[in-house]
């Protein structure tokens, strides 16, 4: 295969399009033309990562091995984190350590943190002393805190400088700093005393003291600040980053807005996974045994709760024996309640994730969701009840000699009752979990399903028994 193009970007676009259709051909081409692959990885690491993500793992590992440490680091940093973790486990420790040493400390810590502890130690021991120290410092903090999100590569200047001297210092050291959105001013003991935006610094007169230009006593967080609180600060004050300080005010690092956004996206995906009983940390690349261990307990809980629903229905089998058509209509009532409850659950979990439900508003939230369930239930009752009567009238379902309109009324009332209960349950379950200090998303769907199925099946049968028999 021959590809004759003028620029790395054109090559990247062509290879990416081809890799989606014939990944093996792209892998063979890059292996046979290493100089083009090296040029692409050096010039456009993001595009190179996109191409690699389409190839087989074995081919990707081979291509990464052929790169310089700095180029391999940039490509790995641009790849999907889950896939990057899978790949680095296949690279030789020496080469991997060299590549991770070239990465920003926070990016290297994120990858190393996903590995087994014994593998972590082997890699850290092989890294450069400076990189190892940075990574060990960051690994000491939980991933969902400001310390776990921060970068230590920040613009930090002593407050005795003038703006002209500060700009000259930044010019000399700009390659070492990842983010220049803000310049932090520290005292002789490296304690944070102020912050200046890089834009304001550039447009000030060169002789102005930093103390006159900076914003004194800036908003800061501590390493153990939860990522949600960091995100709220960034949103409230429209910051591009938040400084991280210890209890004495010592400047430790900075959480960038990009890190905050990634953390919020990760938390949203974790909430979705835990709501249905999957592992919070599970991805499509998680090993089979780890995934089974994460899911199995909640599946067993689901089984136990399913038995509860079965016992409720078993107590009402006499009604089904007299009127078998109810067995065909039950799932319709239960499904509507389940879907309605999931809608309330999603809205409440999203609001809790942003701390948007203060304690004083809980009753109002419950009342509002109950009204939503009632109004939705009345609208759906007309449709579902009418549809049930139509199907009975057309003899699609056999009424077994019972009143068609009474069966339709039972369906309608069952739907209203189930939707009201579902709205309340979908709201109350995550609020109760939050009140107990648990993750509001923790398997909420499983408990909601228990309630909506019990009410959908049992409640409908009871209503039908009273109205029809």
Q: Domain ends where: 95, 115, 148?
A: 148
Strand order of the sheet with strand 154-158? 154-158, 179-186, 192-197, 215-216
Q: Strands 215-216 and 192-197: what pairing?
A: antiparallel
* 245 and 297 belong to one structural domain: no
Number of domains in the chain: 3
Domain harbouring 377, CATH code? 1.10.357.20
**Ranges of the chain whose pLDDT falls below 50:** none
* 137 and 167 belong to one structural domain: no
Q: Strands 154-158 and 179-186: what pairing?
A: parallel
The Cα–Cα gap between 420 and 105 comes to 51
Confirm if 147 and 252 have CB atoms less than 8 A apart.
yes
Structure tokens at 344: 């309330």
* 328 and 440 belong to one structural domain: yes
Alpha helices (runs of H) in 281-361, residue ranges in sequence order:
288-314, 317-322, 325-353
> What pLDDT was estimated at residue 275?
55
> What pLDDT was estimated at residue 283?
60
Q: Domain ends where: 93, 116, 148?
A: 148
Q: What would the pLDDT profile of 313-330 be if each residue is shown by its tens digit?
A: 888 788 888 788 888 888
Give the SS3 label for residue 253: strand
Residue 254 lies in a domain: yes
- Note down the domain range covering 106: 8-148
Q: What would the pLDDT profile of 336-361 be if each residue is shown by its tens digit?
A: 888 888 888 888 877 776 666 777 78
The Cα–Cα gap between 24 and 27 comes to 5
* 257 and 293 belong to one structural domain: no
* 427 and 342 belong to one structural domain: yes
The Cα–Cα gap between 452 and 445 comes to 10
* 251 and 335 belong to one structural domain: no
Distance of CA 195 to the CA centre of its chain: 31
* 431 and 304 belong to one structural domain: yes
Q: Alpha carbon of 339 to those of 332, 346, 425: distances in Å?
A: 11, 11, 12
Structure tokens at 260: 């905050």
Residue 368 lies in a domain: yes
DSSP 3-state helix, strand, coil percentages of the chain (rounded to 5)? 70, 10, 25
> What pLDDT was estimated at residue 469?
63
Residue 456 lies in a domain: yes
* 403 and 325 belong to one structural domain: yes
* 435 and 352 belong to one structural domain: yes
Domain harbouring 187, CATH code? 3.10.580.10
Residue 238 lies in a domain: yes
Q: Domain ends where: 148, 167, 201?
A: 148
* 157 and 118 belong to one structural domain: no
* 94 and 174 belong to one structural domain: no
Residue 229 lies in a domain: yes
Of 62, 66, 68, residue with least CA distance to 99: 68
pTM higher than 0.85: no
Residue 230 lies in a domain: yes
Domain harbouring 18, CATH code? 1.25.60.10
Residue 3 lies in a domain: no
Residue 281 lies in a domain: no
Give the up-direction half-sphere exposure of residue 111: CA atoms within 13 A in the CB hemisphere.
Answer: 27
* 433 and 326 belong to one structural domain: yes
């Amino acid at each position: 295969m021959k590809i004759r193009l003028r620029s790395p970007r054109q090559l990247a676009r062509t290879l990416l399009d081809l890799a989606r259709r014939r990944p093996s051909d792209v892998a063979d081409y890059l292996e046979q033309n290493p100089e083009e692959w090296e040029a692409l990885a050096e010039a456009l690491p993001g595009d190179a990562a996109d191409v690699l993500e389409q190839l087989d793992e074995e081919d990707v590992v081979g291509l990464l091995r052929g790169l310089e440490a700095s180029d391999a680091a940039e490509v790995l940093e641009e790849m999907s984190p889950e896939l990057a973790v899978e790949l680095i486990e296949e690279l030789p420790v020496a080469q991997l350590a060299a590549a991770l040493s070239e990465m920003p400390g926070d990016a290297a810590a994120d990858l190393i943190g996903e590995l087994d502890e014994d593998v972590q130690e082997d890699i850290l021991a092989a890294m450069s002393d400076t990189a190892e120290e940075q990574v060990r410092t960051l690994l000491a903090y939980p991933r969902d805190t400001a310390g776990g999100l921060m970068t230590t590569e920040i613009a930090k200047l002593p407050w005795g400088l003038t703006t002209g001297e500060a700009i000259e210092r930044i010019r000399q050291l700009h390659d070492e700093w990842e983010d220049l959105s803000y310049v932090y001013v520290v005292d002789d003991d490296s304690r944070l005393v102020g912050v200046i935006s890089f834009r304001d610094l550039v447009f000030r007169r060169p002789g102005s003291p930093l103390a006159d230009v900076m914003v004194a006593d800036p908003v800061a967080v501590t390493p153990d600040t939860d990522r949600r609180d960091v995100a709220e600060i960034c949103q409230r004050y429209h910051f591009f980053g938040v400084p991280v300080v210890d209890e004495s005010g010592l400047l430790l690092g900075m959480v960038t807005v990009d890190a905050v956004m990634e953390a919020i996206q990760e938390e949203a995906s974790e909430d979705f996974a835990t709501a249905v009983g999957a592992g919070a940390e599970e991805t499509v690349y998680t090993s089979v045994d780890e995934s089974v261990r994460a899911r199995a307990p909640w599946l067993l809980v689901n089984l136990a709760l399913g038995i509860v629903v079965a016992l409720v229905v078993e107590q009402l089998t006499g009604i089904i024996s007299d009127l078998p058509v109810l067995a065909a209509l039950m799932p319709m009532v239960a499904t509507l309640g389940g879907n309605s409850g999931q809608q309330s659950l999603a809205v409440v979990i999203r609001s809790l994730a942003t701390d948007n439900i203060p304690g004083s508003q809980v009753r109002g939230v419950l009342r509002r969701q109950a009204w939503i369930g009632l109004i939705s239930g009345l609208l759906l009752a007309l449709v579902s009840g009418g549809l049930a009567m139509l199907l009975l009238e057309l003899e699609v379902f056999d009424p077994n000699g019972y009143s068609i309109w009474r069966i339709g009324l039972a369906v309608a009332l069952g739907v209203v009752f189930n939707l009201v209960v579902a709205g309340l349950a979908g709201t109350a379950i995550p609020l109760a979990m939050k009140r107990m200090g648990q993750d509001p998303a923790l398997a909420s769907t499983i408990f909601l399903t228990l309630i909506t199925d019990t009410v959908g099946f049992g409640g409908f049968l009871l209503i039908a028994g009273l109205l029809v028999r």
